[in-house]
Structure 1
Amino acid sequence: MTEENWKRISLDEIRRMKDAGEIHHNPDAPEGPELGDEFWKNAVWEPPRGSTSVHLKLDPEVFDFFKRQGKGHITRMQDVLKAYVKAHQGQ
């Protein structure tokens, strides 16, 4: 899921949605397993890193290929680069 699919709302808006019956809650939904202290003992939270802004020269045909696919061409280029890195990290 990407941020473009996210909708940010306030706590007041969540409460309004709950009061209006717009938020579904199944009281019969099963509880998840209890994860005890041993599970959390070595847990580590790493805050998300921000993006690094760079100036990048591309061959015109490369840029045009992605641009012709429409909105989101920069994200698609980033996805290709991520896939390349992932494929080559195991080598």
Structure 2
Amino acid sequence: MSKVSKTDWEGLAKMNDEDIDTQDMPELGEDFFQRAELRVPVKKAVTIRLDADVLEWFKGQGAGYQTRINQLLRHYMHAQQRYR
């Protein structure tokens, strides 16, 4: 059971920033940025066996293929966690 967004993402992507109504979103003050912390996920090197065609397809998408594989696995992980 997945949630369907009612947001018109395509229409939103075509809008200029000035045309987006942000009245219900307060500005972030200087105190927010002074307290903000950058949290970078810890990466761990692993060996993984992938089918050759799968790996070649990801590599064919250009630089950053390992990051894209990680993002895909993260999305899958989050989807699985929602159903438990």
Alignment TM-score, normalising by the size of structure 1: 0.47
TM-score (ref. length: structure 2): 0.50
RMSD: 2.7
Q: Deviations over 1:3-62 (max 9, x none)?
A: xxxxxxxxxxxxxxxxxxxxxxxxxxx784x9xxxxxxxxxx8x6552121100100011
Q: Which runs of 5+ in 2 are unaligned?
A: 1-26, 32-36
Corresponding position of 2:69: 77
2: distance between equivalents of 1:61 and 1:31? Answer: 46
Ranked by relative contact order (alpha carbons within 8 Å, sequence separation 6 or more), the top structure is 2
Q: Quick one: percent identity of the two aligned structures?
A: 32
- Displacement over 2 Å in runs of 4+: none
The 3-state SS of whatever aligns with 2:72 is: helix
Larger radius of gyration: 1
How many aligned residue pairs are there? 51
Q: Within 1, Cα distance between the matches of 2:67 and 2:28?
A: 37
